[in-house]
Amino acid sequence: MKIPDTTAATEGGATVGRQERRRRKLHDHLYDTAVGLFVAHGFETTTMEQIAEAADVARATVFNHYAQKVGFLEEWGARRRARVGEILGAQHAENLPVDDRLRRYLEEMADLNIASRAETSVLMDASARYGRLLQDPSLEVDLARIVEEGLRRGEIRADVDCGQAGALLAMCYFSTILRWIREEPAPFDLQERLGGALDIVLTGLLVRRGENGKP
């Protein structure tokens, strides 16, 4: 009779057994190894075989965790969004007005990019070239949820399509980051540029009737 593994950790209210912890540790090791190789040698030239060799595992092991190399890019983006979610959660940002909450979200994303510019330059560019950067709705969904909360609170116009607003903000973010990474040194202040784009989205382009002296 096999003795069950009773050594478990609690995560999100569920228990995580030893085998699962080992799997996650290996998964993290493969991820860290791959990202390091991408930054050092480029995404396109790095192979799954090189990742396996550097991680000291069999090639099949890498494919068991990542069916395709672009899977590392998708996880890279997911981890960044998750990290921002953790930071904002710790700050209880959900209690902020919608404009401040959106600003804090973009500020934290910018901070992550600034702190790891070399990594961002390689992986964001690779995501645009080989991944599903502009097709993956994950970021726009996160932003749309914030807008929707503002709508429920009466902070957003009732006729605003929250999904479309989230998509617009996500496209502003991606286009700004792609411009920021493709020149060295950085061609503009990332925080300032993202904040400016958000201001335009929130206030609009047109002068309100009466503000310019016209009826």
How high does pLDDT run on average in the chain?
A: 91
How far apart CA 120 and CA 77 sit, in angstroms, is: 10
Please give the pLDDT value at position 134: 86
Dihedral sign, CA of 106, 184, 116, 26?
A: positive
- Cα→Cα distances 119→36, 41, 211, Å: 8, 11, 45
Of 77, 101, 99, the C-alpha closest to 87 is 101
Residue 1 has pLDDT above 90, yes or no: no
164's CB contacts (< 8 A; 6+ apart) are: none
128 neighbors 134 (Cβ within 8 angstroms): yes
Task: Tell me which of 13-22, 92-101, 146-155, 201-210 is least confident.
Answer: 13-22
Mean pLDDT over residues 23-31, rounded? Answer: 97
Burial class (CB in 10 A: 0-12, 13-18, 19+), 150: buried
Q: How many CB atoms lie within 10 A of CB 198?
A: 19
| Residue 129 half-sphere exposure toward CB, CA atoms < 13 A | 10
Residue 62 has pLDDT above 50, yes or no: yes
How far apart CA 114 and CA 59 sit, in angstroms, is: 33
